[in-house]
Amino acid sequence: MTSRSESALVTLRRIMHVTDTNARALARRTGLTLAQMIVLEIVAEDDRSTPKEIARRSGVSQATITSLIDKLEARGFVTRRRSEQDRRLIRVTATEAGRTQLANAPNPLYAAFSAKFEALPEWEQLMLLAALERVAGLMNADQVEALPPTEEPRIAAV
């Protein structure tokens, strides 16, 4: 293994460690998985979201989204309603409890990364995105869902 490939793998392990640590802390504080929190954020941003749109935005299958929405609905954080314009469509809406949960559950790593990334010039954002997509391909992760369907919090919220 070359020095550069070793350095790349060490950097990837550091990134994975930080993200895993952040996800565990979020689960301890909220009782929600990172996947559930991301879905709740998407729904709270747009109360007209359909499961298909939520799946597209979060990078997972509709089956995974259905499971995540089921869990959020069981906890009273979202509701499903049929569209009045097109009865075939289901709209997912954040409840007041869901919005409160979001307000009380900051995700410092996600917020810090997003703020720093958005502050970069557009060319650099595109370059980083291309590099990350290339790394995902090198690791055979380019076709893997972004949010694991079985992710569960290890410690329930108090």
CATH 3.30.379.10 fits 3-138, yes or no: no
Flag whether the pTM goes above 0.75: no
Is the model's pLDDT at 156 over the cut of 50?
A: no
Contact call for residues 58 and 65 (beta carbons, < 8 A):
yes
Q: Domain locations in the chain?
A: 3-138
Is the model's pLDDT at 152 over the cut of 70?
A: no
Both tokens of 38, joined, read: 């991301």
- The chain-wide mean pLDDT, for the chain, equals 85
| Strand-strand pairing, 90-94 and 78-82 | antiparallel
Residues in a beta bridge with 90: 82
